[in-house]
Amino acid sequence: MRYAILQRYERLYGVDPTGLSAIATTGAKAGLYGISQLLFEPGDEVILPRPYWVSYPTQVKLAGAEPVFVSGQAENHYLPEPEDIERTITDQTRGILINSPSNPTGGVYDRDQGEKLVDLARSEDLFLISDECYDGFVYQKDSFWTLATSGYEKGLVVGSASKNFAMTGWRLGYIIGSPEYVDPLENLQSHLTSSPPAISQKAGEAALRSDLTLDESTRHRYRKRRNGLADRLDQLPGVDCTRPPGSFYVYPDVKGLLTRMDKGQEDDEELARLLLEEAGVVTVPGSAFGKPGHLRMAYLPEIDRLEEAVERIEETVGSTLEEPDC
């Protein structure tokens, strides 16, 4: 499994595995938890993107450290730019966690941004953790940058079989980095879960060695779904929806819609509940990711199902906007 992890990164991204180590973890979630436990302690600050994947802040707090949030611009799918992160660094900062492609926004760091982030981490002597769980879901060829190419000794890459190979229930993730940090992570894991189940590792190894990650025709299908959903949502009154370059989510800004519905701009939970109960459409409110006024929607279903979902949203929302008959 360890070889298969490194070989995948070598095959897909030209990563030189010399000097790198890899371990299989019980899902990326347990890998990220182990990283926080190993690297952070009370008094440390850890810079996290906002919106963030839901477990990051809690895992940092469980290590006794303090999460510090930084947002980028909406045009860049809220991914914090290296300059945004630099402004957030204090004497207490010990690490920076990035997530590309991002859950929930679908933003992706390119090579230029990635290399600047490494330069910043190096110059400030900080750990740089890159959660790359959605690396198979990038829609512009060659636009994805992986930290594994950087050679940064305080850099750790986190990945998962859950998204790329649709193996969520197998609980299989991995970490790539220098043995100085990966070996103690293995020690820690040996006292937590021992290892991911052997059967999962066998299946994961086969998936990693195959070319199961999106081929061009599948990528084309997903791109079409993303464009179809984003463009339809963008036409709804008070909704702003762009086409994110990665993952399988769109993250529309619904603040204008909430205002029109006579609700507060942060009432996305109420909107998500309404869409679930009245329209039968599942969304996740942006407030779950620390950025209210948005909804996260997955475009995994076929395009006709997505179109039906938007029609139902339109109908449900439309009925709340109509003036009551007098």
The footprint of ligand PLP on residues 81-140 (CB under 6 A) is 99, 103, 131, 133
Cα dihedral sign for 95, 106, 24, 209?
negative
Range in contact with ligand PLP (rule: CB under 6 A) among 21-29, 198-206, 234-242, 315-323: 21-29
Which residue type occupies 9?
Y
173 binds ligand PLP (CB under 6 A): yes
Indicate which single residue of 59, 93, 160, 242 sits in contact with ligand PLP (rule: CB under 6 A): 160
242 binds ligand PLP (CB under 6 A): no
162 binds ligand PLP (CB under 6 A): yes
Which residue type occupies 312?
R
Find the shortest distance in angstroms from Cβ 153 to ligand PLP. Answer: 23
Indicate which single residue of 28, 48, 138, 233 sits in contact with ligand PLP (rule: CB under 6 A): 28
- Angle (CA) 59-64-66 rounded to 5° is 75
- Are 161 and 129 in contact, with CB atoms under 8 Å apart? no
Q: Which is nearer to ligand PLP, 131 or 205 (CB)?
A: 131
Find the shortest distance in angstroms from Cβ 79 to ligand PLP. Answer: 13
Find the shortest distance in angstroms from Cβ 132 to ligand PLP. Answer: 9
- Angle (CA) 167-160-298 rounded to 5° is 70
Q: Which is nearer to ligand PLP, 40 or 249 (CB)?
A: 249
Q: Which is nearer to ligand PLP, 133 or 271 (CB)?
A: 133
Range in contact with ligand PLP (rule: CB under 6 A) among 13-21, 22-30, 285-293, 306-314: 22-30
Indicate which single residue of 15, 27, 232, 292 sits in contact with ligand PLP (rule: CB under 6 A): 27
Q: Which is nearer to ligand PLP, 40 or 53 (CB)?
A: 53
Note the residues at the interface with ligand PLP (CB under 6 A).
Answer: 27-29, 53, 99, 103, 131, 133, 160, 162, 168, 173
